[in-house]
Amino acid sequence: MLSTRIHDILKNHLSELQTEWFATMASQGGRRDSLTKDAELREQCAEFLRLLMEATRQGSSFDINASVYTPVRELLERLSRARSLQGHSPSETATFIFSFKHPLFNALRREWTRDPQVLGDELWNATLLLDKLGLFTTEIHQRTREEVIHRQQQEMMELSTPVVQLWDRIVALPLIGTLDSGRTQTVMETLLQRIVETSAEIAILDITGVPTVDTLTAQHLIKTVTATRLMGAECVISGIRPQIAQTIVHLGVDLSGVVTKSSLAGAFSWALKRLNQSVHTPPSPRATPAGKG
């Protein structure tokens, strides 16, 4: 079995390996005391060595995707995700594994120094195994960061599409930034859900904060207007600045069937009239003559 000799080294020198490994991590910068405490790190080292020893006892190869390495992979996945979320860099995460080369190589040299052929083979086997495990930790670290970034983008997208109830049966969605397909889908879902919740009859899409309007953006707006109408509500697009109006005309985008206004205030005023409602400004109180009251 290819892994027999490494298993024997782990089994016969477990305590020394763990001590030397911990010292190696300290010298190579694999420890960040503010993020991972010594006791926790020692426990992680001990668990990894125990699982690796069991895997090399059962395994006949160094295929880390084999079932015998499942517990090892699960541990490294858990540790890599935790380190990624704690702020460790990919190299710091991989150092947890790569730093074990030094104590393991030293143990192999002490055991097989008189047999260069066996020593060379075992050093190569150990290198292959630890390199694969180290690369696995960086893959998990990167995947975790990508998941965090994706989740943050989703949260930012949701925060950037707040639907505000301006008046009874009137809601408004102020859009800021560039509209792409993903964001448009979120805009649609958020707006339609809010229309259902508030029984709104008019929805105002305010694009004052949208820097430019191209053909794709215009198509997204038309789709949102169409979806809103299918929900039984009228949709108004406000914030049509002169530059945007010229761009829409130049692009040949047909918004003739869509109510548009130059400002949110204008759209709100239109919506009130549409619903036969109005806002009256209360009269200002008369000034009290001097010497009275």
- Quick one: 146 and 176 in the same domain? no
291 belongs to a structural domain: no
**126: Cβ contacts below 8 Å, ≥ 6 apart:** 6, 101, 104, 105, 108
**Identity of the amino acid at 39:** A
Tokens of 166: 């301006």
280 belongs to a structural domain: no
Convert the pLDDT of each residue in 35-62 to its tens digit: 567 888 889 999 999 999 999 988 666 7
**Angle CA(134)–CA(107)–CA(117) in degrees, nearest 5?**
90
Count of structural domains, the chain? 2
pLDDT confidence bin for 293, thresholds 50/70/90 = very low
pLDDT confidence bin for 159, thresholds 50/70/90 = low
* Least trusted range by pLDDT, from 93-97, 120-124, 155-159: 155-159
282 belongs to a structural domain: no
Half-sphere exposure of 42 (CA within 13 A, CB side): 8
- Quick one: 31 and 117 in the same domain? yes
Q: 18 versus 213: which is more confidently predicted? A: 18
pLDDT at residue 100 is higher than 60: yes
Q: 153 versus 290: which is more confidently predicted? A: 153
Tokens of 247: 């761009």
pLDDT confidence bin for 214, thresholds 50/70/90 = confident
- The pLDDT, as a whole number, for residue 1 is 44
290 belongs to a structural domain: no
**225: Cβ contacts below 8 Å, ≥ 6 apart:** 205, 235, 237, 258
In the 3-class helix/strand/coil scheme, how is 1-63 assigned residue by residue?
Answer: CCCHHHHHHHHHCHHHHHHHHHHHHHHHCCCCCCCCCHHHHHHHHHHHHHHHHHHHHHCCCCC
Give the residue from 130, 156, 182 where a domain finishes: 156
Average pLDDT taken over every residue of the chain: 85
Q: 290 versus 221: which is more confidently predicted? A: 221
Distance CA 100, CA 115 (A): 23
pLDDT confidence bin for 151, thresholds 50/70/90 = confident
- Quick one: 190 and 106 in the same domain? no
Q: List the domain range (segments joined by +) for residue 28.
A: 4-156
Mean pLDDT across 228-257: 89
pLDDT at residue 34 is higher than 50: no
- Quick one: 47 and 118 in the same domain? yes
**85: Cβ contacts below 8 Å, ≥ 6 apart:** 144, 148
Mean pLDDT across 159-186: 82
131 belongs to a structural domain: yes
Convert the pLDDT of each residue in 111-145 to its tens digit: 888 899 989 999 999 999 999 999 999 999 999 98
- Quick one: 116 and 24 in the same domain? yes
- Quick one: 148 and 187 in the same domain? no
Q: What torsion do the CA atoms of 116, 118, 122, 124 make, to the nearest 10 degrees?
A: 60
pLDDT at residue 33 is higher than 50: no
**160: Cβ contacts below 8 Å, ≥ 6 apart:** 175, 176, 177, 183
Distance CA 166, CA 204 (A): 10
CATH code of the domain covering residue 131 = 1.10.490
pLDDT above 90 covers what percent of the chain? 47
Q: Are 43 and 50 in contact (CB under 8 A)?
A: no
Give the residue from 156, 177, 197 where a domain finishes: 156
pLDDT above 70 covers what percent of the chain? 87
Q: Are 54 and 71 in contact (CB under 8 A)?
A: yes
